[in-house]
Amino acid sequence: MQDRSLSRRTVLASATVAAASAVGVVGVAATPAAARQRDRHLKKIISRMSVEAKIGQLFVPYFYGASATSPSQFDQERNLRELGVRTVAELIAKYHVGGVIYFFGWTNNIRDPRQIADLTNGVQRASMSLPVPVPSLISIDQEHGVNVRIGSGATQLPGAMALGAGRSLSDARTAGRISGTELAALGIHQNFAPVADVNVNPANPIINVRSFGADAREVGRMVAAQVTGYQQAGVVACAKHFPGHGDTAQDSHTGLPVITHTREEWDRIDAPPFKAAIAAGVDSIMTAHLQVPALDPSNEPATLSPAILQGVLRGELGFDGVIVTDALNMAGVRTKYGDDRVPVLALKAGADQLLFPPDIDVAYNGVLTAVRSGEITEDRLDESVLRILRVKDKAGLFDGSPYVSPKEVDRVVGARAHQRAAARIADRTTTLLVNSNGALPLRRGQRKLLVVGASPAFPTDDTRTSVPELAKAFGELGYHTTHLATGRAPDAAKIDEAVAAARGRDAVVVTTDNVGPTSTQRTLVSRLLATGVPVVHLAVRNPYDIAHLGDVPASLVSYCWTEVELRAAARVITGRVDPRGRLPVPVQRADDPTRVLFRSGHGLSYDD
């Protein structure tokens, strides 16, 4: 069995190299001899590094500010308070960090594509000014769907579960390639995507629609396609969260979840997508902060478990790429050990990149102390640094200049061809669950619409929310729309206002977001149904909402509320596009979770 798996990996790796060569990806070693030659070059770089510089290469910290050298005074003060330096350039100079991660919003790293390019060039100038110049591997969480970091100016694409509903490997690969092409133009060469978790728990608070679905084989196929797309674009893909975060009802940001799968269940449910990612040549895999007793009876978090990282991931699955920890500021990995010991134990377990330490000075000096004491050998450091330099090399960071061109940013990021492709992909993901008596598409006379309901903010722009944006999408299609955002927990007054607003409308489109058994969104929908005005329900996140809503005449799922999904939903509701999405997860009945309301694969079209 193991020999067949290795053979499969070899075949797919060869295919990946061929495909990468065809699209001009730099840094891909075409032969074992070429790979050995590149390793010799990289080892020479490592040989010139001090121990301190090698340790720095392992860390991927956050920082505040939109500029590498001149962030706002407010951001400088935050950097000084939390990182001990004023700018990211100073952070790189002090700790020789091998990479940084960009975030939207709270770190103020991201405003628009031109600014991101300037920031990237500043980061690279700081890295190339080190005693041993090594370009930074700049990272981001640009999963799309509900988890987006770059919004304005960049192409927005359907997220994982929407792509899972589309069931198209070509669309998944294209989405990865478009996203990767735009990230590479911005100088961001590591994307912490795709999510390889199999969402078999509808109550999962952290994965949910970030997963491609509940079928391990289908998730694996989609993960492999996205890995190929990203890496064809010259971006380091990262399958996450190993050994699988899909069956938990606890968020590892706030606690330490336990996965109770048996070893047989893990092999059948959790492992296949990671095996598929490895077969597709994935460059990095991210760990999960959770316990899996079937894989490690000691109950160490997977991030700190030699049994899981070395025994299973490296030993059994044969992965020799970069192992990235999930963020080290999360509660799931800090429950047993101090912040100085967590990075040391992660390295001893087999990790290479140490992501987002809560205190870079404590973490860095913790590793330095472990190396000086002999707890971690310099040879062990060299192993991880070599893996990190390999992916930097594969991303083309050692070939020519690591800097990006503003003209290339303008040409590539948010290109019209990308936007059109994203819209076509989204059209194939919207899923029609219920269509009683041909309620959809809207009839020719149904021109006056009310759009009402939950209105979550766009992931990267809290001034834009889904209800007005959906109303705008209908308006652009020629409909006369009014809208009313009632929120996730509408009170009686807001529900009464919605009912009053429905009078005189030809149809009401009501959006829901994360409906539960006690949610007042249920009351809103039932009161709207009682008006006699035709009601169309759109779940703008979870496909599970419908189980709590009773007999709605028409119900759809968009899997997210970003513009690309909302516009596609409007096109489907109005009949411009035939619904083609199919549920990638089963939906259980609310009154009896042992019974299935809609099976995985369910999805109606207007021909049904």
**pLDDT tens-digit series, residues 193-208:** 999 999 999 999 899 9
Average pLDDT over residues 402-414: 96
Give the integer Cα–Cα distance in Å for 429 and 441: 16
Query: How much is the pLDDT for 31?
Result: 86
Give the integer Cα–Cα distance in Å for 416 and 425: 14
Residue corresponding to tokens 């350039």: 89
Domain borders along the chain are: 2-412, 430-598
Residues in the chain: 608
DSSP letter at 375? S
Average pLDDT over residues 352-370: 98
Residue 424 backbone dihedrals phi, psi, to 5 degrees = -65, -40
Query: How much is the pLDDT for 19?
Result: 33
- Closest listed residue to residue 397, CA positions, set 224, 198, 232, 235: 235
* pLDDT above 80: residue 216: yes
Which of 31-35, 569-573, 594-598 is predicted least confidently? 31-35
Query: How much is the pLDDT for 505?
Result: 98
DSSP letter at 156? P
Query: How much is the pLDDT for 30?
Result: 55
Q: Is 285 helix (H, G, I), strand (E, B) or coil?
A: strand
Give the integer Cα–Cα distance in Å for 163 and 213: 9
Q: Do the first three CATH levels of 2-412 and 430-598 match, i.e. the same topology?
A: no
- Closest listed residue to residue 586, CA positions, set 535, 548, 544: 544
Split at pLDDT 50, 70, 90, the class of 179 is: very high
Topology at the third CATH level for domain 430-598 = Rossmann fold (3.40.50)
Active site residues: 253, 326
Give the integer Cα–Cα distance in Å for 98 and 114: 23
How does the average pLDDT of the chain come out, rounded? 94
**pLDDT tens-digit series, residues 497-531:** 999 999 999 999 999 999 999 999 999 999 999 99
Q: What pTM was computed for the model?
A: 0.93
- Closest listed residue to residue 554, CA positions, set 458, 422, 473, 442: 442
Topology at the third CATH level for domain 2-412 = TIM Barrel (3.20.20)
Give the integer Cα–Cα distance in Å for 283 and 589: 40
Give the other-Cβ count within 10 Å of 170's Cβ.
11
Give the integer Cα–Cα distance in Å for 92 and 90: 5
**pLDDT tens-digit series, residues 410-457:** 999 999 999 999 999 999 999 999 999 999 999 999 999 999 999 999
